A = this chain, B = another copy of it.
Amino acid sequence: MKLGRMNHIGVATPDLDAAIAFYRDVMGATDITEPFVLESQQVRVCFVNTPGESGTAGTQVELLQPTTPDSAVGKWLEKNPLGGQHHICYEVPDIHAAKAWFEKLGKRVLGEPRVGAHGTLIFFVHPRDMGGQLTEIMEAPTHEH
Contact = CB atoms under 8 A, between A and B. Distances in A.
A5 B54 contact: no
Contact of A51 (B3, B11, B12): B3
Contacts of A50: 3-6, 90
Instruction: Label chain A's interface by main secondary structure.
Output: loop
Interface in A102-145: 102, 105, 107, 127-128, 130-133, 145
A59 interface: yes
20 contacts: A2-B30, A3-B27, A4-B50, A5-B50, A5-B51, A5-B52, A5-B53, A6-B61, A11-B133, A19-B131, A26-B102, A26-B130, A52-B58, A53-B145, A56-B56, A82-B127, A82-B128, A82-B131, A84-B127, A84-B132
Interface of A: 1-6, 9, 11-13, 19, 22-23, 26-30, 48, 50-54, 56-59, 61, 80, 82-85, 88, 90, 102, 105, 107, 127-128, 130-133, 145
